[in-house]
């Protein structure tokens, strides 16, 4: 089929024009897109614009372990205050996701089972998530011990919320650092990908992300002997202000970080350095007022991530619902502390398992080098094709240009991220894109040699090359799909452009050059074809 | 007539060369495998884990050779195991940048008599250690080269991720070759499938061989290059196979060797043409694409060269050794009779 009606030709031209239309905004600065154009653009990958990529692992095992550990207290209380009298029990056995409760008297067993079963609750609160299952399964075993296990659903649920809560906390932290457009995505079960473009300070970023940020206020136990072993229900923590010094504090926190509504850094109002100001919610204000009223003259400790950052003496009751931490901080550290306090604590520990940071100048160098390689590769191919196939070579080159426009348009429309390997994919595609045309042209030459007229030869060339083109390009497409699904980072960027390039190149070879070749042989009826 | 690399009509007896080609390829493959086991691949931190820090000089300044020595001594003095410090780019005496590689920090040993750590805890400790090393090296670079230096690239890959990347890379290659095998089997016949896969394995082995011999860094993007080579080599092979199938239908009585030779010759112009245009683009990428893409484009150039060779000399001659189904027509025998006499089917 060499004849195309005007509708078909119109559709082809429209498609190529759309490629140009969607690709155009890339040539203008963001926000400066000329009127009439949609703001579709290719996002440059971090390797091209500079930035930091962090892969973090959320320690969900610890979250589950914390759950089971906190269950111990509930179990003890339940058994002590059981209906019909206290139930005697032995030492609780703590294993992974499981608590073993030995019941001393066999006669209490059924009662214990009943009481402990009442501990199990629906996940996500009552009426929260219907059908999500229960948090614990309480099982009888051998008439002497009761097994309490986190259910499969609960393990999934708690791990899941630890990860999504972490995302929220990290987002708040990065946002309050004033960084532009961070992207935080979940990957797999317990991983997060944090991508922050721009010439960011990766170490600063990491220190803000990785700190748990658990803030609490405890009274200092001034009666404790610093050299004696730590008394029960007390903690001995290092004091940041004086390296080497330690203070003994009460284990129970009077006020916790979740009662803080705001925090900010400002120059110290009496003394050097910076201070961190914070405000409590109503519950926190009340607790803070009570504690400071009862303990005038004693010290309380402000604890962040198991370190005492400050232990001021209470001079007078603090009733205003706000306070400050003075510790002669450098401005940057005060600001970082404020960010940590404001954004809340991470629900679980995070470990950075992969980090890649590219400076903005290396990114710019890569863009320049990639573009030069693209242009020179393109020109070399274009010239070579014309030298080889003459008039038909020009057709192939027009198809190649249409191809590049379509790739650029598709990438812009998808909002795809262009990486350096992605540019390599485009360069490679340019080299390979002409393959479909080469197959067709070589076939046409053979058909001419076998004595066909130009029109018949062109027609037969397209028809006979079809299956080879189809098979050949499908193999490349398979390779691209595998790279996309199994590959990491740079490999995926390459797979996307290679895959799109294969599809557009088949289209342009089959349709664009066929229209041009068809118009030529049918319109001018050449006696012989030179190619 | 335009520019021609080869005459329009060739009549080369490729199948006669099959034993020579097989011998050469076999020797090259054995050499590659030997190189892989003796020299090994120079795995980048993607697969081995570790820290890479690349720095450029401060605005308006240049590095000198003595900077390299100073950095080497300073970083070497940290006691971080295997450390490599290299110049990158630029000219001799005034490099564009300095790259420091630090190997993967070992998992901490369990202290004798102390609390035993689980595998998870040890891995976690190693991850933290790795991050600490990156910070330490950056500090050392700042103190030795001045505060103004620009950190162009900092990569930290911990033991968890490097292990996964190795697995994913190998899995991707195996899946790719497996899918090609199934695809060809489905579209052609098992003999074709066998030939294609032998050619692919040949290409992958020789690429790993050249990377072992040259000791070029083997990174994640080389896996992408290998997959592309698999796709490209397959592409070339399929075009020849497609023509063989067509000619088998056309010339039912022609000896198989002649059909294969005819098909390879008929597609030779296309094979070379496509290889040349692809190489033009790749050489441009190799020369102008910058340091980061050099290994990648080298792998692809090599892959296109051997991929072209293998589809001509390895994939198709396999058919001759296994034999193929000769009767492709499922339609009536009348039409096959006609084409058996060598008439060109329209």
Task: Using CA coordinates, name the residue in chain A closest to B224.
Answer: A491
Question: What is the average pLDDT across B315-332?
Answer: 74
CB-nearest to A475 from B238, B276, B280 is B238
CB-nearest to B127 from A351, A482, A488 is A351
Q: Which residues of B touch A482 (CB under 8 A)?
A: 172, 175-176, 179, 227
Radius of gyration of chain B (CA): 27
CB-nearest to A366 from B151, B223, B292 is B292
What does chain B come to in residues? 346
- Whether residues B288 and A357 touch (CB distance < 8 A) is answered with no
The reported pLDDT for the residue numbered B335 is 39
The DSSP symbol for A508 reads I
CA angle B296, B300, B305 (to 5 degrees): 150
The C-alpha of A478 sits at a distance from chain B's nearest C-alpha, in angstroms, of 7
Q: Which residues of A touch B283 (CB under 8 A)?
A: 377
Q: Is the ipTM of this complex over 0.85?
A: no
User: Any chain B CB within 8 A of the CB of A458?
Assistant: no
Q: Which residues of A touch B152 (CB under 8 A)?
A: 358-359, 361-362
Task: Using CA coordinates, name the residue in chain A closest to B137.
Answer: A203
pTM for the full predicted model = 0.80
What does chain A come to in residues? 531
- Cα–Cα distances (Å) from A343 to A60, A208, A349, B328, in that order, read 20, 11, 15, 71
Helices vs. strands in chain A: H and E counts, helices first: 14, 19
Start-to-end CA distance of chain B, whole Å, equals: 26
- Cα–Cα distances (Å) from A479 to A475, A485, A499, B231, in that order, read 6, 10, 9, 6
The C-alpha of B61 sits at a distance from chain A's nearest C-alpha, in angstroms, of 15
Examine the pLDDT at B60 and tell me if it is beyond 90: no
Instruction: Give whichever of A213-222, A273-282, A500-509 has the largest mean pLDDT.
Output: A500-509
Radius of gyration of chain A (CA): 35
Cβ neighbors of A87 (< 8 A, separation 6 or more) are A79, A80, A103, A105, A108, A111, A112, A115
Per-residue tokens: B205: 């082995």
Q: Considering only A55-59, A176-180, A190-194, B330-334, which range has the smallest mean pLDDT?
A: B330-334
* Contact between A145 and A100 (Cβ < 8 Å): yes
pLDDT tens track for A36-67: 787 788 888 888 888 888 899 988 888 888 88
Question: What is the average pLDDT across B323-333?
Answer: 60
- Rounded Cα–Cα distance for residues A100 and A284 (Å): 36
- Cα–Cα distances (Å) from A87 to A71, A108, A120, B144, B216, in that order, read 17, 6, 19, 69, 71
- Whether residues A491 and B224 touch (CB distance < 8 A) is answered with yes
Beta strands in A254-349 (DSSP E): 255-256, 260-267, 274-280, 300-304, 307-310, 322-329
Task: Using CA coordinates, name the residue in chain B closest to A372.
Answer: B288
The DSSP symbol for A53 reads E
Task: Using CA coordinates, name the residue in chain A closest to B285.
Answer: A373
Question: Considering only residues 489 to 508 of chain A, which have any Cβ-Cβ distance to chain B shorter than 8 Å?
Answer: 489-491, 494-495, 498
Q: Which residues of A touch B236 (CB under 8 A)?
A: 472
Question: What is the average pLDDT across A401-411?
Answer: 90
- Rounded Cα–Cα distance for residues B18 and B15 (Å): 5
Q: Which residues of A touch B167 (CB under 8 A)?
A: none
Q: Which residues of A touch B284 (CB under 8 A)?
A: 373-374, 376-377, 380, 427
Q: What percent of chain A shows pLDDT beyond 70?
A: 96
Task: Using CA coordinates, name the residue in chain B closest to A369.
Answer: B289
* Contact between A103 and A115 (Cβ < 8 Å): no
Examine the pLDDT at A201 and tell me if it is beyond 90: no
- Rounded Cα–Cα distance for residues B159 and B163 (Å): 6
């Amino acid at each position: 089929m060499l004849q195309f009606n005007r509708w078909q030709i119109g559709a082809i031209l429209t498609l190529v024009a759309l490629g140009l239309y969607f690709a155009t905004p890339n040539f203008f600065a963001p926000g400066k897109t000329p009127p009439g154009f949609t703001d579709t653009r290719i996002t440059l990958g971090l390797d091209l614009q500079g930035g930091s990529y962090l892969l973090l692992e959320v320690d969900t095992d610890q979250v589950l372990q914390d759950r089971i550990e906190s269950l111990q207290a509930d179990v003890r209380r339940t058994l002590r205050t059981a209906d019909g009298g206290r139930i005697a029990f032995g030492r609780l056995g703590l294993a992974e996701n499981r608590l073993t409760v030995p019941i001393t008297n066999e006669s209490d067993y059924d009662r214990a089972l009943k009481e402990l079963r009442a501990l199990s609750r629906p996940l996500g609160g009552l009426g929260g998530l219907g059908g999500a299952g229960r948090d614990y399964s309480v099982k009888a075993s051998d008439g002497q011990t009761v097994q309490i296990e986190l259910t499969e659903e609960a393990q999934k649920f708690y791990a899941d919320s630890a990860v999504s809560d972490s995302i929220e906390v990290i987002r708040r932290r990065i946002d309050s650092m004033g960084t532009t457009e961070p992207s935080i995505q979940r990957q797999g079960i317990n991983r997060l990908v944090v991508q922050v473009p721009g010439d960011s300070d990766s170490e600063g970023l990491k220190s803000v992300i990785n700190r748990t940020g658990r803030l609490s206020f405890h009274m200092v136990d001034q009666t404790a002997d610093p050299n004696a072993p730590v008394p029960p229900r007390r903690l001995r923590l290092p004091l940041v202000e004086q390296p080497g010094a330690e203070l003994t504090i009460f284990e129970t926190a009077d006020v916790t970080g979740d009662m803080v509504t705001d925090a900010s850094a400002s120059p110290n109002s009496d003394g050097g350095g910076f201070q961190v100001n914070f405000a409590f919610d109503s519950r926190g204000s009340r607790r803070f007022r009570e504690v400071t009223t009862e303990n005038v003259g004693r010290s309380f400790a402000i604890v962040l991530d198991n370190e005492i950052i400050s232990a001021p003496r209470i001079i007078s009751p603090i009733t205003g619902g706000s306070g400050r931490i003075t510790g002669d901080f450098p401005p940057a550290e005060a600001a970082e502390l404020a960010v940590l306090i404001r954004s809340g604590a991470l629900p679980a520990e995070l470990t950075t398992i992969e980090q890649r940071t590219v400076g903005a100048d290396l990114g710019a160098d890569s863009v320049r080098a990639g573009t030069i390689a693209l242009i020179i590769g393109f020109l070399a191919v274009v010239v070579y094709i014309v030298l080889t196939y003459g008039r038909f070579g020009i057709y192939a080159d027009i198809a190649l240009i249409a191809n590049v426009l379509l790739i650029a348009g598709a990438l812009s429309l998808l909002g795809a991220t262009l990486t350096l390997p992605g540019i390599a994919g485009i360069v490679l595609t340019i080299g390979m894109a002409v393959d479909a045309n080469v197959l067709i042209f070589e076939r046409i030459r053979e058909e001419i040699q076998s004595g066909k007229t130009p029109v018949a030869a062109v027609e037969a060339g397209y028809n006979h090359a079809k299956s080879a083109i189809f098979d050949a390009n499908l193999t490349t497409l398979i390779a691209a799909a595998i790279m996309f699904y199994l590959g990491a980072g740079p490999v995926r960027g390459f797979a996307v452009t290679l895959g799109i390039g294969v599809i557009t190149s088949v289209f342009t070879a089959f349709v664009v050059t066929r229209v041009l070749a068809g118009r030529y042989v049918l319109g001018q009826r050449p006696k012989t074809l030179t190619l | 007539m335009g520019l021609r690399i080869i005459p329009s009509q060739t009549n080369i007896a490729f199948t006669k060369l099959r034993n020579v080609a097989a011998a050469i390829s076999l020797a090259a493959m054995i050499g590659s495998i030997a190189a892989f086991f003796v020299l090994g691949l120079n795995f980048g931190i993607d697969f081995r884990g570790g820290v890479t820090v690349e720095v450029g000089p401060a605005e308006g300044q240049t590095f000198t050779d003595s900077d390299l020595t100073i950095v080497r001594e300073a970083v070497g003095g940290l006691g971080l195991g295997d450390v490599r410090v290299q110049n990158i780019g630029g000219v001799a005496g005034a490099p564009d940048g300095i790259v420091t590689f630090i190997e993967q920090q070992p998992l901490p040993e369990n202290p004798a008599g102390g609390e035993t750590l689980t595998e998870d805890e040890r891995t976690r400790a190693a991850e933290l250690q790795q991050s600490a090393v990156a910070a330490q090296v950056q500090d050392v670079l700042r103190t030795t080269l001045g505060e103004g230096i620009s950190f162009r690239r900092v990569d930290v890959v911990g033991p968890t991720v490097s292990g996964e990347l190795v697995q994913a890379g190998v899995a991707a290659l195996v899946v790719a070759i497996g899918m090609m095998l199934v695809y060809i089997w489905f579209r052609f016949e098992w003999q074709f499938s066998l030939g294609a896969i032998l050619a692919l394995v040949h290409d992958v082995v020789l690429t790993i061989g050249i990377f072992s011999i040259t000791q070029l860094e083997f990174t994640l993007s080389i896996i992408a290059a290998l997959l592309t080579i698999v796709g490209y080599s397959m592409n070339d092979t399929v075009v020849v196979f497609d023509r063989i199938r067509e000619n088998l239908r056309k010339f039912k009585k022609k000896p198989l060797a002649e059909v294969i030779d005819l098909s390879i010759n008929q597609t030779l112009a296309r094979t070379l043409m496509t290889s040349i245009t692809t190489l033009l683009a790749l050489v441009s990428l190799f020369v102008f694409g910058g340091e980061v893409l050099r290994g990648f484009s080298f792998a692809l150039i090599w892959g296109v060269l051997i991929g072209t060779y293998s589809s001509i000399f390895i994939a198709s001659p396999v058919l001759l050794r296994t034999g193929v189904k000769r009767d492709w027509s499922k339609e009536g025998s009348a039409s096959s009779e006609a084409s058996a006499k060598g008439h060109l089917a329209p």
